[in-house]
């Protein structure tokens, strides 16, 4: 009777409004990043006045030993955090998706998810107090890279599990069952069938936990010992004192490297995915 009535709110209600809301949101998200990059080339040490174009802050960075040693420590911790997070996260995601019934499942789910939201000061404090208690009792571990790694792994495990779990849930279980029917042992099914299918999620989880670890301040502050200062701790202590142009230069380097890594990785992942889809389609045709 009333003809065509586009049912979706937002399609009738002004497409332009939706678009400008999205554009506004993205401007909000990217404004600080753009500002950091621009001011890293500012000749004036005052962040609010433009004193001409310069590379001098990058030159100072090369000789900044505190920042550089922090950078190497952060890189090491982040690498091991990412590797361990992906392995443990894969186990945890597998548990949540495949094993619906086991003793203490509710508690397991809670403990995997809680670090996603738990204030970091609480996690950092509690982990440190435990490590101190253990140290009084056994004489180790000394606070340093290893203890920072333990804290980061707790956070990394939670994020890796979410990423891998999302992919595992979308998998068709019939493919694994077929492999099982053809005589593959459980571990063979896992390595030959499941792993390649979730490789994309494993890669994203690795990258995500790597960058999370590279960026963490609070856990690192609680768990680092004398002589183990990570890069975010150096940046944080300088940022606390006020604005510092060298921080802008570090920021620009990090943003540049991370963007290239993420864009390259997502391009490679998308290509591998397309290739796989093509192969599956070809296999189904024949």
Of the two residues 126 and 275, which places its CB atom closer to other proteins in the complex? 126
Q: Which is nearer to other proteins, 156 or 282 (CB)?
A: 156
Task: Provide, rounded to whole angstroms, the least separation between the CB of residue 85 and other proteins.
Answer: 11
Q: 88-117 mask for other proteins (x: CB under 8 A)?
A: xx-xx-xxxx-x--x-x-x-xxxxxxxxxx
Per CB under 8 A, the segment of 57-65, 195-203, 250-258, 278-286 that binds other proteins is 250-258
In angstroms, the Cα distances linking 205 to 25, 99, 110, 125 are: 26, 21, 20, 26
Judged by beta carbon, residue 26 or residue 72, the one nearer other proteins is 26
**Least distance in angstroms from the C-beta of 157 to other proteins:** 7
The smaller minimum CB distance to other proteins, of residues 228 and 282, is found at 228
203 binds other proteins (CB under 8 A): no
Q: Which residues pair with 42 in a beta bridge?
A: 53
Question: With binding defined as CB under 8 A, does residue 240 bind other proteins?
Answer: yes
Binding-site member from 129, 195, 268, 277 for other proteins (CB under 8 A): 129
Residue placing its CB nearer to other proteins in the complex, 56 or 238 = 238
Q: Does 251 sit near other proteins (CB under 8 A)?
A: yes
29 binds other proteins (CB under 8 A): yes
How crowded is the C-beta side of 111, counted as CA atoms within 13 Å? 8
**Residue 197 makes contact with other proteins by CB under 8 A:** no
Whole-number Cα distances in Å, 79 to 68, 73, 156: 16, 10, 11
Query: Taking a C-beta distance cutoff of 8 angstroms, is the pair 272, 200 a contact?
Result: yes
Q: What share of the chain is helix, strand, coil (3-state, %, to 5)?
A: 75, 0, 20
Q: Which is nearer to other proteins, 56 or 236 (CB)?
A: 236
Window 53-82: residues binding other proteins (CB under 8 A): none
Dist. CA 218–CA 122, nearest whole Å: 10
- In the range 160-179, which residues lie near other proteins by CB under 8 A? 161, 165, 169
Alpha-carbon Rg for the chain, nearest whole angstrom, is 24
260 is a site residue for other proteins (CB under 8 A): no
Interacting residue with other proteins among 27, 192, 239, 280 (CB under 8 A): 239
Q: Give one DSSP letter per residue of 6-29, joined into a string.
A: --STTTSS-HHHHHHHHHHHHHHH
> What does the DSSP assignment read for 117-168?
HS-HHHHHHHHHHHHHHHHHHHS-PPSSHHHHHHHHHHHHHHHHHHHHHHHH
Are the beta carbons of 84 and 156 closer than 8 angstroms? Answer: yes
Least CB distance to other proteins at residue 283 (A)? 25
Name the token pair of 80. Answer: 């091991």
Which range binds other proteins by CB under 8 A, 138-146, 152-160, 172-180, 194-202? 152-160
């Amino acid at each position: 009777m009333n003809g065509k009535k586009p049912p979706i709110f937002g399609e009738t209600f002004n497409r332009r409004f939706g678009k400008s809301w999205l554009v506004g949101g993205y401007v909000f998200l990217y404004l600080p990043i753009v500002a950091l990059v621009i001011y890293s080339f500012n000749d004036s040490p005052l962040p609010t006045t433009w004193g001409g174009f310069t590379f001098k802050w990058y030159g100072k960075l090369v000789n900044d030993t505190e920042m550089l040693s922090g950078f190497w420590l952060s890189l090491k911790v982040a690498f091991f955090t990412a590797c361990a997070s992906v392995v443990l996260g894969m186990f945890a995601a597998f548990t949540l998706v495949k094993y619906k019934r086991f003793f203490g499942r509710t508690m397991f789910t809670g403990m995997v998810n809680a670090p996603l939201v738990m204030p970091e000061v609480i996690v950092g404090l509690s982990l440190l107090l435990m490590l101190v208690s253990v140290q009084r009792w056994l004489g180790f571990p000394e606070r340093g890279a290893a203890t920072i790694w333990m804290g980061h792994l707790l956070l990394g495990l939670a994020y890796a599990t979410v990423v891998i779990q999302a992919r595992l849930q979308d998998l068709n279980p019939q493919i694994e069952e077929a492999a099982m029917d053809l005589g593959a042992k459980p571990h063979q099914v896992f390595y030959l069938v499941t792993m390649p299918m979730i490789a994309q999620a494993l890669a994203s989880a690795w990258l995500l936990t790597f960058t999370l670890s590279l960026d963490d301040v609070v856990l690192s502050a609680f768990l680092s010992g004398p002589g183990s200062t990570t890069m975010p701790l150096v940046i944080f202590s300088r940022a606390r004192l006020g604005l510092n142009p060298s921080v802008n230069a570090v920021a620009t380097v990090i943003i540049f490297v991370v963007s290239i890594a993420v864009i390259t990785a997502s391009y490679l992942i998308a290509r591998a995915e397309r290739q796989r889809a093509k192969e599956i389609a070809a296999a189904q045709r024949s």
